[in-house]
Amino acid sequence: MSRSIAILSAAAGTLLLGACSAGDSSLSASQSATIAAPAADVWEAIGNFDDLDSWHPAVADTEITTGANNEPGAQRLLTLGGDGGTVTEELQSYDAEGMSYTYTIIDGVLPVSDYRATITVMPAGDNSSNVSWSGTFNAAGADDATATETINGVYKAGLDNLRGMFDE
């Protein structure tokens, strides 16, 4: 009898652990924009890891704090406008030829953890390009819907501003 209880306890523990792990699945956000400019021109505007403040309206300053710009392992400190909150990010991969980079958030004010995102510029024909910005993350300090809405808002604001820079 005690052997049966031990087996059931182990099975219940395994099921509980599996249920907890299933609840930890990543969320995702993705936005894209067609820009009225050749991909090379758009990449020139957004392709430097240390220059997010030049095209994202929520970022007041970008500073490389560790490593070298556009080199994997480089870390940037973003200072946000308004409240002056900060976000520290690390470059994971950088592909100038493929016009893409991937980064993670190490620390910051956004309601996410385990965040990983990629920005890519692709030619779209007729001297236009498509920029996609997508990421995966877990909610932290907010519910899933709020975290997802926040990240989608960050992406949309940046891409809308970028589009406006080339429409002028």
Residues 6+ apart with CB under 8 A from 22: none
The overall average pLDDT reported for the chain is 88
Of 89 and 3, which is predicted with more confidence?
A: 89
Residues 6+ apart with CB under 8 A from 77: 62, 63, 65, 86, 87, 88
The share of the chain scoring above pLDDT 90, in percent, equals: 81
Q: Write out pLDDT tens, residues 62-95.
A: 999 999 999 999 999 999 998 899 999 999 999 9
pLDDT band at 168, cuts 50/70/90? low
The correct answer on CATH 3.30.1370.60 for the domain covering 27-167 is no
Of 40 and 4, which is predicted with more confidence?
A: 40
Res 123: pLDDT: 97
Res 125: pLDDT: 85
The pTM of this model reads: 0.84
Residue 12, pLDDT > 70, answer no
DSSP state of 6: H
CA distances to 77, 140, 141 from 25, in Å: 28, 13, 16
Largest CA distance in the chain: 78
Residue 14, pLDDT > 90, answer no
Of 11 and 96, which is predicted with more confidence?
A: 96
Q: What are the structural domain ranges in the chain?
A: 27-167
pLDDT average, residue stretch 145-153: 97
pLDDT band at 24, cuts 50/70/90? low
Residue 20, pLDDT > 70, answer no
Res 147: pLDDT: 97
